[in-house]
Structure 1
Amino acid sequence: MLPYVTRYEPIQVTLQTDEVKNIPCGTKGGVMIYLKKFEVVNRLRKEYVYETILNYGGKYDKTWVYDKIHHEINQFCSAHSLQEEYIDKSDQIDEIMKEAIQRDCTRYAPGIEIISVRVTKPSIPRTIARNYEQMEEERTKVPIATEMQKVVMKEAETLKKKTVTEAEKDAQVSMIYMKQKVNEKESIKRQQEIENEIFLAREKSLADANYHRVMKEAEAN
């Protein structure tokens, strides 16, 4: 045994995971929920071992991890509603807790490095859970109904465009038909005019010929 050493305690300086289970969490609205598991991956840096052990003992993580977990959870829960904790901020709790624990460690026990925090989704009373499930079901129905409405509106718009297109097509066909009829009438009229001109020319020619014949006969007598 080394001189002046009465006891020794191994100190881990590699990554370790401290875990706390079933942490009570009283929300701002007075509902009591429980966090099934809270894990903190942390490490004590070698150069701070002596200082940390001198100040907080071999069980330093009880003060700065285990007890800190309970404290920060209580602070967070009392400041937020069940809706925020269970739904709105559920994906942010890990990072919020990590920053909160690391902040005080950096200030009072700088050798403790918080690597990550994992918090399971809180366990809430069954009746309240069912309400959230129903809300989620209704929330799921909304986009489906919206998409169906979009489809119906798209179909209606397509039908409207098709109807307008068909009406325009029919109108164009009618115009072409009417124009064709007008052209036919003009063609018939022109043909009649030509026939009349031919008839008049023929009659004039016959009249002229008859005139000349009569004049010759008169001269002969």
Structure 2
Amino acid sequence: MDPQQQQQRGRAAQPPPGGDLSAILTVFMAFVAIAAMILVPASFSSANSSFSIIHQVPEGHVGVYWRGGALLKTITEPGFHLKMPLITQFEPIQVTLQTDQVKDIPCGTKGGVMISFEKIEVVNRLRKEFVYETLLNYGVQYDKTWIYDKIHHEINQFCSAQSLRQIDEKMKDALQVDCTRYAPGIEILSVRVTKPTIPASIKRNFEQMEEERTKVLIAMERQMVAEKEAETQKKIALAEAEKNAQVSKILMEQKLMEKDSSKRQQEIENHMYMAREKSLADADFYKVMKEAEANKLKLTPEYLELRFIESIANNSKIFFGNKVPNMVYDQRLLGNFLNTAGRVEA
């Protein structure tokens, strides 16, 4: 390194004059102050929010602004935004679900017993389209007016008249009714009420009442079960009786059909028998009539005389005496008489 370069380096290493150093410090401090005003987030504290230019609105919130104490209608979405320092104040307002816890709520019953609810949780949400109207009417602490203070009032209204199982739903309805009427932006989603702290003596009485109530419920359930069983048995008996009645009816109808069939069969047999007997009687009548006609045709003097001679010839006995010719003569007279009578009738 030549002597000229060493001389230049020595000059460069020498400190600047005192006036130049103070000017540099002044510029540096001004730069730091401006950077702090620009870069410090407004969400650190409400005191710093008035000095910052850039501020951040977190997710689930919207940004609201005041200028000279007056609420502005400007509502910003989550992200980085600019505002005028010292003049405009900023506040993030949550518009997603949030849970407010109200603790140690005293309540006096009708009987003069003091009880207290350890904690009541209210799940609520401020609707984005009602942020300006709600803050304008009730401020940033709107939930103190319509949730915290309202809970104390409603608990004193309900605890002495309602059971623990009804308070949750009643409280939700009561809060929502007034919010809908006066602060429509506040939406009450649910209310969870813990069991109250009760004096030992009252608690024991309450437990005894619950035990008795449980016993009554058990007895009622047993009675219902017994009634159901009896009703089931009754239905089974009715079904069995109906089945037997139907079987008896079917058997009776079957027997009646058999009797009817036997009756028709007997009637057919009777008709057949009568027809057969009638045919036989007609045949006998016809036979007798024909025989009568034949006999009538046979009653001639010659035939009668032949039959007389045959009968005389067939006699195994012969009589002798004076009256034998008379007997023969009488027989001939009898034959002649019968022949004459037949001709007269014809």
Higher share in helix: 1
Matches of 2:275 and 2:189 in 1, distance apart? 104
1:18 equivalent among 84, 92, 100: 100
The residue that corresponds to 1:115 in the other structure is: 188
Q: 1:201 to 1:27 in 2, by over 3 A?
A: farther
1:76 pairs with 2:149: no
Q: Does 1:66 align with 2:151?
A: no
Task: Give aligned-pair identity as a percent.
Answer: 23
Q: Normalising to structure 1: TM-score of the pair? A: 0.68
Number of residues of Structure 1 aligned to a counterpart in Structure 2: 206
Report the CA distance between 1:18 and its aligned residue.
Answer: 0.5
> Is residue 2:184 matched to residue 1:102?
no
Offset, 1:72: 0.5
State yes or no: 1:92 paired with 2:169.
yes
Larger mean Cα displacement after TM superposition, 28-37 or 198-207: 28-37
Tell me how far apart the structure 2 counterparts of residues 31 and 145 of structure 1 sit (CA, whole Å): 41
User: Equivalents in 1 of 2:246, 2:257: separation in Å?
Assistant: 16
The answer to whether the 8 A contact 1:98-1:116 is kept is no
The DSSP-based 3-state class of the residue aligned with 1:175 is helix
The letter of the residue matching 2:191 is: R
Aligned pairs for 1:166-181 (under 5 A) are: 166-181=247-262
Query: Residue 34 and residue 196 in structure 1: after superposition, are their counterparts in 2 closer, same or farther (change >3 A)?
Result: farther
Q: Cα deviation per residue 1:26-48 (whole Å; 9 max; x = unaligned)? A: 55566776656422233455314
CA radius of gyration, larger in: 2
CA deviation after TM superposition for structure 1 residue 74, in Å: 0.9
1:152 and 2:233 matched: yes
| Residues 94, 119 of structure 1: 8 Å contact kept | no
Q: TM-score, normalised by structure 2?
A: 0.47
Cα pair 1:19 1:40 within 8 Å, conserved: yes
**Closer/same/farther in 2, CA of residues 208 and 112 from structure 1, 3 Å limit:** closer
**For residue 213 of structure 1, what is the aligned residue in structure 2?**
294
C-alpha deviation, 1:68, in angstroms = 1.9
Q: Given residue 291 of structure 2, which amino acid in structure 1 is its aligned partner?
A: N
Q: Does structure 1 conserve the Cα–Cα contact (< 8 Å) formed by 2:108 and 2:114?
A: yes
Calculate the aligned-residue CA RMSD, in Å: 3.8
Q: 1:195 aligns with which of 256, 276, 280?
A: 276
Distance in 2 (CA, whole Å) between partners of 1:100 and 1:176 is 79
Deviation string, structure 1 residues 81-112 (Cα, Å, up to 9, x no partner):
5xxx245x467324323235526xx54xx486
Alignment check: 8 A CA contact 2:147 2:175 kept: no
Secondary structure of the corresponding residue to residue 39 of structure 1: strand
What CA distance in whole angstroms lies between the structure 2 residues aligned with 1:91 and 1:146? 35
User: 5+ residue gaps in structure 2?
Assistant: 1-47, 52-67, 69-85, 197-202, 304-346
Q: What 5-or-longer segments of structure 1 have no aligned partner?
A: none
SS at match of 2:94: coil
CA distance in 1, matches of 2:99, 2:116: 20
User: Which letter maps to 2:246?
Assistant: T
Partner residue, 2:123: 41
Q: Structure 1 residue 73: deviation in Å?
A: 0.8
190-199 or 58-67, which deviates more = 58-67
Q: Check whether the contact 1:72–1:101 (CA below 8 A) recurs between aligned residues.
A: no
CA deviation string 1:137-160 (max 9, x = no partner): 345445544543443333233223
Alpha carbons 1:25, 1:74 under 8 Å: kept: yes
State the alpha-carbon separation in 2 of the partners of residues 118 and 34 from structure 1.
17
Letter in 2 for 1:192: Y
